[in-house]
A and B are shown apart, each in its own frame.
Chain A
Amino acid sequence: MKLRFHWAFLLIAALVPVVGLFVPAAQSLGELLRPIFIMAILALGLNILTGFTGILNLGVAAFMALGAYVYAILTCDIYPFQFGFWPAVLLTVLVGLLAGLMLGLPTIRLRGDYLAIVTLGFGEIVQDSLKNMDVITKGTQGINPLPAPTFAGYVFRSETYAPWYYLFLGFLALVVLLNRNLQRSRVGRAWIAIREDELAASCMGVNPMKMKLLAFSLGAAQCSLAGALWASFLGSSGEPGNYDFQVSIIALCIVIVGGMGNIAGVLLGALVVVGCNSLVLETFTNFLKAHELISSTNVYTAPGNWKYMLFGLALILMMRFKPEGLLPSRQVKAELHPHEPPPS
């Protein structure tokens, strides 16, 4: 049996902390991988919408914010609920599911670009409302401190590294498994049929509205899971500004750079996009600073200031020369390169 890329990715990722026991470099790599796992869960949620169903969503950060805040309200000891980690995560996912349904119900009939702007507007509304309803959300301070998660008596402390790593990796594996099974189910095939041709799909007995709504709520649920996990790791809901338009755009870039509609592609995309963003540029900046090669007053010499330029150019070049992404699904590839023979 051929080893699929996404399973290989998860297997290798599982070995990183083990190697880290012997090689210190692997441990610092592992610490950088944790936010990548969270972003991968977020991007997989978006992938259900944009990748499978072909609905453009420009506001996934809103669902992530919702997840983080709902989780914080359910667990923080200034509120009466004070749930444990596992029931709180479960409830947060359910709330995300409902929120996706609530936003989707009135708007799902809109044409593609209009729906995109509605999701964008929703993102802004959620972010500003969280900022303004400071009685509940504590404004820009965020809700904190949150209790550490526990698993069978073990407490996840913020200074430990490997337990968090495996917790996030475990959730990522679960999400990958779920998405893969969804993709191969009747529902997943219906989604892809809608993406390719909504009219033809509806003629074949697919109910486009129902299926799109399902994609909307399942995607939202996964995004809020990413938010809940991130909040538990930070020990705080974070401030509303952490969930701005940029986060939504980065998630979209992960899906598109990696390969739309392909789970393995999204994992690779998270690695490349978030990795470039934090790992490469930060290391380079720190290296230059340590060797006193840059002055702090000159804006042009700090590599961190070139971040958007590089990110933007990468997107433009990617669309120009490899619009199907690094690791496209077979269908998308066949569609964009109709004259090449299919791989045997």
Chain B
Amino acid sequence: MTGWEVFLQQLIIGLSNGMIIALIALGYTMVYGIIELINFAHGDLFMLGCFAALTVVSLTGGLPVWLVLMLLLVLTPVFCGSLNWLVDRLAYRHLRDATKLAPLVSAIGVSFVFLNLGLFWGGLPLKVFGFGKAAAAPKDFPTLVSNANLLGSSNVEFTTKDLLVLVITVPLMVGLTLFVKRTRAGKAMRAVAQDRLAAQLMGIDANRVIGQTFLLGGGLAGVASVVASLYNNTIYFQMGYRAGMDAFTAAVLGGIGSLPGAVLGGLCIGLARAFADQYIATRWTNVIVFAILILVLVFRPSGLLGAKHREKV
């Protein structure tokens, strides 16, 4: 491979991974935008989504691949969204007026519970989980989408998987933007994010809108689970930490609370990872990603696309 081909290859890998990170980051940024909560459990919700996806695959064995894909893309987001909504209903909703640290610590607690659920899920006596013999071991996700290169005999590989990532994530992001900008429910979300009390005075049921945000953010994490599982073909119960960390970094990098910011941040993190892997050294990749984050925050404290925040007095 020539230098250019290597560069193009890493660009494709970085963009694909970046889109997945962006999907998770959207869930972070939406929840943060509306109740200023760093939802620590979001990465682990993504992990549970991957286990749900593998379970769906296991239970639908024998069906045609396109049907399995459709089922995955419906059932997993519904599962993740409902779970996220339920957690908000049971845990965070009671802490709306508490000190700022209370929901954050609660979210850390939820992430621990999710982590443990992931471990137990891997111990289920199903064939895909190795009949529960080694619950903590990584699980293989079957190759539903082929690895064939769409660019023919070119050295640069743009596979069906990369295409799948684009085909699923781009319309979803466009749809989300339209939803938040154009619909009544989206308007309510923006209103609650801007000023909850004023929104309530205008007759908006703030708790319902916040619940919808959790549902939507969780659903996006669910889609990310399906895409990531199909793309990487391996899942394990500790994967939520790394994924959550990357996504959160992406959300902050783009300007937390901003939807286009989360996508831009996700792409930046994905590309930074791919290029650092290629041109520096894999073992320094994490250091480089976080160093970029700290530098951006020092010089642009509200992120790349974040609105200038003026403290209210």
Contacts and interface: CB of A to CB of B under 8 A. Distances in A.
Interface string B189-233: 000000000000000000000000000000000000000000000
Interface residues of B, number: 54
A110 B302 CA distance: 9
Interface in A272-319: 297-300, 305-309, 311-316, 318-319
A136 interface: no
A111 B102 contact: no
Given A114-B297, A121-B249, A245 B241 contact: yes
Contacts of A249: 108
B18 interface: no
B105 A124 contact: no
B291 A125 contact: yes
B90 to A, nearest CB: 8
B293 A128 contact: no
Contacts of A110: 297-298, 301
Contacts of B309: 111
Interface in B296-312: 297-298, 301, 309, 311
Contacts of A305: 116, 119-120, 135
Contacts, number: 140
B112 interface: yes
B94 A107 contact: no
A315 B291 contact: no
A107 B293 CA distance: 12
B286 A124 contact: yes
A177 interface: no
B78 interface: no
Contact of A306 (B38, B105, B116, B297): B116
B95 interface: yes
Contact of A309 (B103, B112, B283): B112
B31 to A, nearest CB: 12
A113 B298 contact: no
A253 interface: yes
A255 B74 CA distance: 42
Nearest to B91: A316
| Contact residues of A: prevailing secondary structure | helix
B109 interface: yes
B105, B135, B252: residue with the most chain A Cβ atoms closer than 10 Å = B105
A106 interface: yes
B109 A315 contact: yes
Nearest to A257: B105
A15 interface: no
Interface of B: 32, 36, 38, 91, 94-95, 98-106, 108-117, 119-120, 122-123, 132-133, 135-136, 241, 245, 248-249, 252, 256, 281, 283-284, 286-287, 290-291, 293-294, 297-298, 301, 309, 311, 313
24 contacts: A50-B101, A110-B298, A114-B252, A117-B293, A121-B290, A125-B287, A132-B284, A249-B108, A260-B101, A299-B119, A299-B132, A299-B135, A306-B116, A309-B113, A312-B111, A312-B112, A313-B113, A315-B109, A315-B112, A316-B91, A319-B102, A319-B103, A323-B99, A335-B99
Given A308-B119, A311-B112, 4 more contacts: A114-B297, A260-B101, A298-B123, A320-B94
